[in-house]
Structure 1
């Protein structure tokens, strides 16, 4: 296993200082110096890079495949073939074991995180449990730039229960401010449900301050960590966070459809009862008793049979993140986004682009959004020259920089190709709108 080196505290830019000097391409020299000094450089070799010529800037949608995952899945399949039903002796503890591994990445304690279901299902379970714990309150607070699934689920719960969803209006580039949330709080609010890192812009919301503000009004807080787990420090325990959910297929490299995780603060676990009463959340589940008596621990938030093979895949990606350490990962993420913005300012802004993420490095995650009036066409042109970003409305190109396998030279190559394609008008060769998945 590759071990992380020591990252200088507070590092927010690649080593080597601003571009300059006699080099023919000072930006390239800057990237090479940064890569040479990168304590996480060896982790790139832990991933499958099928096409080294392609520049993959979409790991914030789907992470790369860890090399060990294939072997681990082969072992799991062989165990299934050999052990058959006896395999459950090793499979039953997986959800808790992997949850404890995630806990170390998101600043939680062992026994506060469990691998379970999808992010959306977990969000539903925890939101309903939180609302039941705040009877007499009839308002849910979220924001209009929160991920669509989160908003849809909250709207569905509110419609079924006769509640009101208050959506805070957010600047889609700058993200949510603590003052915006504070202004929406009163004694009617039961639940505040927000994303820690905005899926569109990468803007980071102050998790600790927002949680404290909600608690002052007696509300519970549920955080979506999909774009922060494995990318930025979260620190759930120290912030006093009540509830959280997150996926494992982005920065945690668990693979397509890998199961999600949920977090419940230990003091709340025995007091909350989630709405989907399944036998994996039942005390003495194999007694097959007539009545539901939930486990007085994190397992009470489980429902049914876990996806064992997918859980093994998730475990391998999570192990790599845990080995690297979230401090070093977050420091490199800041360096990568700082370097990408340098290139964007120098090369892309003159071509009609605008950085659509917060200017402060401390207020953005591990991806950068660029606005362009023809962003969909630009996205297709980028793919045609071997650069893989993704598109988000309205007219955003989203560039993801997962620190475990993204190099500074990748950003130089990718953004120079993008610059050249747009300067040559290649994007105008593509349709103006999408006719399928983006």
Structure 2
């Protein structure tokens, strides 16, 4: 392997102000992972998470039992939502709740947005968005008699303001896009797209699954109407951790989600006739909050607050720059191309490498302890998580990719 690239990785690790935080993650020496490059799918667990989970089970669950609800569990969806808004999403208090899955919250908000624009029947979305986003819009369109307006996007790039301007009109109720494209890593110009959609009278809904905890997000400043996202990627909430939903403050009385459950009621324990929505974003809740699933977020949000999202983004760009450098030097001779934005301002937190036959490398990579992500038909996603991934780890992982390609050639 190229000594200069290893020396560069070691120098970047030595100068990394977030480097010491890697020790906060659980990665015992006896594990078989030598390079984890899929932080954009599932984040590593924090050491503090195990302690918090144990304490919660032994003290709060076992000790307080049903009293835990009045001790504070009932407020966790909003308290954690406010913390998430402050630490990672640029949202003032009272606009975010943690609840449900991304799919369920997405359905609630798409349905609510379409209903909030009576007389308008078009939903604008792009062909390369994450499948759930597309499927949910198809379901809502079928339910509400809406029309889907598809924007064809390049799988190696993403949605642009010019495309949105050409697609929206006076009949558009909602536009829905991913802030960071799941396939290419394209970082959309959310503020400008919001401006264009609002000029046409439409609402905007952003999927933040590949953004939260990785890139700066300014929901309030950008004029975002609605947003959803998961907490198990860069926010390290764990497998199946609950999602979050954002509803801008001035839309609280206008936008009403369709799944009316007791936790979204004005007074949940009155249990009276008829549904009266709770004030604020709490009205986005439906059923009992997944309290146990929220416990890891206390630790991960503490760590993100300590690091600072600006520093996380700075390191993310350095990591992905390094991935591209290794791909150009090591992998391009074997037919690998970078299938995503090279420009830092348009790049999210992961890099997609494309080559026919990459799927055949997955098993041997896993056998060697290298774990990237794969997206059909031929994309290897490299998603180094800034808080838990070092540059030498990236070097090790892509070095093994190179070895396997060399053998096959």
Give the TM-score normalised by structure 1. 0.90
Stretch of structure 1 that moved more, 382-391 or 116-125? 382-391
- The equivalent position to 2:117 in structure 1, one of 114, 125, 134, is 134
Does the 8 A contact of 2:34 with 2:396 survive in 1? Answer: no
Q: State whether structure 2 residue 78 is matched by structure 1 residue 96.
A: yes
Q: Distance in 2 between matches of 1:174 and 1:308?
A: 38
Deviations 1:60-87 (A, max 9, x none): 1110011111111111111211211111
Residue 410 of structure 1 aligns with which residue? 393
The alignment's C-alpha RMSD in Å is 1.3
The structure with the greater share of residues assigned to helix is 2
1:378 is displaced (CA, Å) by 2.2
Residue 30 of structure 1 aligns with which residue? 8
Residue 81 of structure 1 aligns with which residue? 62
- The equivalent position to 2:176 in structure 1, one of 185, 193, 204, is 193
Residue 43 of structure 1 aligns with which residue? 21
Does the 8 A contact of 2:32 with 2:369 survive in 1? Answer: no
Residue 302 of structure 2 aligns with which residue? 319
SS in 2 for 1:424: helix
Residue 264 of structure 1 aligns with which residue? 247
Residue 399 of structure 1 aligns with which residue? 382
Residue 62 of structure 1 aligns with which residue? 42
Deviations 1:334-381 (A, max 9, x none): 000101101100000001101111121111111110001101012223
Q: Distance in 2 between matches of 1:43 and 1:92?
A: 31
1:52 is displaced (CA, Å) by 7.1
Q: Distance in 2 between matches of 1:168 and 1:231?
A: 26
Quickly say closer, same or farther: Cα 1:42–1:138, change in 2 above 3 A. same
Residue 158 of structure 2 aligns with which residue? 175
Q: Distance in 1 between matches of 2:259 and 2:141?
A: 17
Does the 8 A contact of 2:21 with 2:387 survive in 1? Answer: yes
Residue 306 of structure 1 aligns with which residue? 289
| Matched ranges for 1:249-398 at <5 A | 249-398=232-381
Q: Distance in 1 between matches of 2:104 and 2:33?
A: 38
Structure 1, unpaired ranges of 5+: 1-22, 427-438
Structure 2, unpaired ranges of 5+: none
Does the 8 A contact of 1:175 with 1:358 survive in 2? Answer: no
Q: Distance in 1 between matches of 2:194 and 2:33?
A: 44
1:305 is displaced (CA, Å) by 0.5
Give the TM-score normalised by structure 2. 0.97
1:92 is displaced (CA, Å) by 0.9
- Name segments (4+ residues, structure 1) moved above 6 Å: none
Does the 8 A contact of 2:33 with 2:370 survive in 1? Answer: no
Does the 8 A contact of 1:385 with 1:421 survive in 2? Answer: no
SS in 1 for 2:150: strand
Does the 8 A contact of 1:101 with 1:319 survive in 2? Answer: no
Quickly say closer, same or farther: Cα 1:286–1:53, change in 2 above 3 A. closer
Quickly say closer, same or farther: Cα 1:125–1:24, change in 2 above 3 A. closer
SS in 2 for 1:334: helix
1:314 is displaced (CA, Å) by 2.5
Q: How many residue pairs are counted as aligned between the two chains? A: 404
Does the 8 A contact of 1:130 with 1:191 survive in 2? Answer: yes
